[in-house]
Amino acid sequence: MKILGISGYYHDSAAALVINGKVISAQEEERFTGIKHDNRFPINSIKWILKQNKLKINQIDKIVWYEDPKKKYERFKEQYFKYFPKTIGFTKKLWNWKKDNDIEKIIRTELKYKGVIEYCEHHIAHLAYSFYTSPFENTDIVSVDGVGENETAICALGLKGKYIQPLERNFFPHSLGLLYATITAFLGFKPNSGEYKVMGLAGYGSSKDLYKKQFEELAKVTVNNHIELNLKYFSFHYSDKIMFTTKMCELFGIAPRVYESELKQIHKDIAFSLQAHYERLFFQMLNYFQAHSKNENLCLSGGCAYNGLANGKITKKTKYKNVYVPPAPSDAGSAIGAALWSWMKDINHNKRVENINPYLGPSYNAVDYKNAINSTIYTIGKVERFDNYHPLIEKVAGLINDGAIIGWFQDGSEFGQRALGNRSILANPTISNIKPKVNRVIKKREGFRPFAPMVTFEDANKYFDMCGQEVPYMNQVFEVKDDFIASLPSITHIDGTARVQTVRSTFNPLIYMLLKKFEKKSGYPILLNTSFNLRGQTMVLDPITAIKTFYDCEMDYLVLGNYLISK
């Protein structure tokens, strides 16, 4: 059974191919178009998937869309009339909704597909992606995001051989994700994409939680575990121009920050208090649910599952002992989730297949690397080709130890927002001026944002306070142990934390080998790892773009498969 899962039209469009329960290929549309968070129909992802797997579209048994368009329309219509006349600006959108959101027509027209089309509810797709790719057979599953059709968060049970059982639902406009997005907008960042910047900024805010009272006024979790926003401060439910009212400015005593204007201490303090309040509400929700389920396992999904700061504290703030967050918990991952949901329901939930591989995108071989080196418009500097990886990795470990910044390109591209060692920029985390150097000459991004470490799985707990947890997809933030804060300056955030990726030898053998070689030289099996792209660009997808990016910035070396390129 070949199932194509598709997500799109909100943010992070993606497509995924699942054959008999196994995720074979998946990629976000943004990687092909270069447009960050591209939300258009993922035609390029689908074309690549079909070509890669030598399939024609009508050999696909079923296409599953990650939302229920009818339910979404019903919610929008209800929202329109409930808040009318404030929603007058939505009139054209409502009028054209059915025409613009005829998903079946879009799929049939774009793909010339004649087969079966199914719809999976938005949060069910989130829950299914997290549950069915997790190592757990029985678990709690929690999905939190901005909004799906009508729901903004669901707490559910995932039980072996059973349907996913949603037990608690939160409804629009009461949304933890939209609280975070609104304050992200108030602080002058782009909602639905700038939240991770606000998370980074929170580390610079006063730990006195100066705006606690204001946030308590904005949002709470009720006695029956429902998120409740104080709607007089919000306008996203009746406006698509602005997410908050003037009362929000009165509450914080400042005007909204203008995009890219100076970041003041008050913005950092608000970011801190937002994160602190988000965590209070999130843990309150989790604790309430766990008290009834008594489960020790938790799968997280939805856009809020990118909140690594909160995720990293779950085992300390709740009774959950094991936490799983998949590589792409937001809507991109729902392409996989929708397809897995459909497969599991059709086979009566009996046949779980292991799906832990995050390297689901385009992969390249030695011929591709050679052609890219020969065909690029750049005059390539020195190119060394290594017959096997041992001497290459030995050399690269030495270069990194000496302070070089390396572009590292191998095998299949990652699915999800994180570089997990196949499209990465790597550097020495023990050198204090490496972080500003990476920021200044390569990433050209805001200086306050932290860089993350990758570490061998067996050594992770020596350096980071992570209670033995495994985090292969880099979605949890932990404290760097006191003894190592001074020696790991480039991956320790100002608040003493780091967003860790643990690497097993079986997970990514080349990166694991590099970490071990680097340990021999530096004493630390840890590397600074950031995504291979420049500011405002998407992660590089192919060898030619990797070479172009290498020459467009001051990166020192580029590793393309078994080639080492210097300028």
Site for Fe ion, rule CB under 5 A: 145, 331
The distance of closest approach from Cβ of residue 128 to Fe ion in the complex, given in angstroms and rounded to an integer, is 12
Cβ distance to Fe ion smaller for residue 30 or 145: 145
300 phi, psi to nearest 5 deg? -115, 150
Cβ distance to Fe ion smaller for residue 140 or 145: 145
The distance of closest approach from Cβ of residue 148 to Fe ion in the complex, given in angstroms and rounded to an integer, is 6
Q: DSSP E strands: which ranges in 284-422?
A: 297-301, 322-324, 382-385, 406-409
Q: Strand order of the sheet with strand 2-7?
A: 22-28, 14-19, 2-7, 62-65, 116-119
3-state secondary structure of 231: helix
Tokens of 30: 């943004």
Cβ distance to Fe ion smaller for residue 38 or 145: 145
The distance of closest approach from Cβ of residue 302 to Fe ion in the complex, given in angstroms and rounded to an integer, is 5
Cβ distance to Fe ion smaller for residue 9 or 238: 9
Tokens of 399: 């270069």
Q: Give the distance from CA 96 to its chain's centroid.
A: 31
Q: How far apart are CA 529 and CA 424, in angstroms?
A: 6
Q: How far apart are CA 481 and CA 184, in angstroms?
A: 30
- Minimal CB distance to Fe ion: which residue? 145
Cβ distance to Fe ion smaller for residue 30 or 331: 331
The distance of closest approach from Cβ of residue 331 to Fe ion in the complex, given in angstroms and rounded to an integer, is 5
37 phi, psi to nearest 5 deg? 55, 30
Q: What's the Rg (C-alpha) of the chain?
A: 23
Q: Which helix (H) or strand (E) holds 391?
A: helix 389-401
Q: Which helix (H) or strand (E) holds 15?
A: strand 14-19
The distance of closest approach from Cβ of residue 205 to Fe ion in the complex, given in angstroms and rounded to an integer, is 27
The distance of closest approach from Cβ of residue 120 to Fe ion in the complex, given in angstroms and rounded to an integer, is 12
How far lies 313's CA from each of 71, 90, 156, 458, 466, in Å?
A: 35, 40, 20, 20, 9
What contacts 533, CB < 8 A, 6 or more positions away?
A: 423, 539, 540, 549
Cβ distance to Fe ion smaller for residue 148 or 362: 148
Cβ distance to Fe ion smaller for residue 337 or 361: 337
The distance of closest approach from Cβ of residue 329 to Fe ion in the complex, given in angstroms and rounded to an integer, is 9
The distance of closest approach from Cβ of residue 397 to Fe ion in the complex, given in angstroms and rounded to an integer, is 40
Cβ distance to Fe ion smaller for residue 29 or 145: 145
**Residue type present at position 4:** L
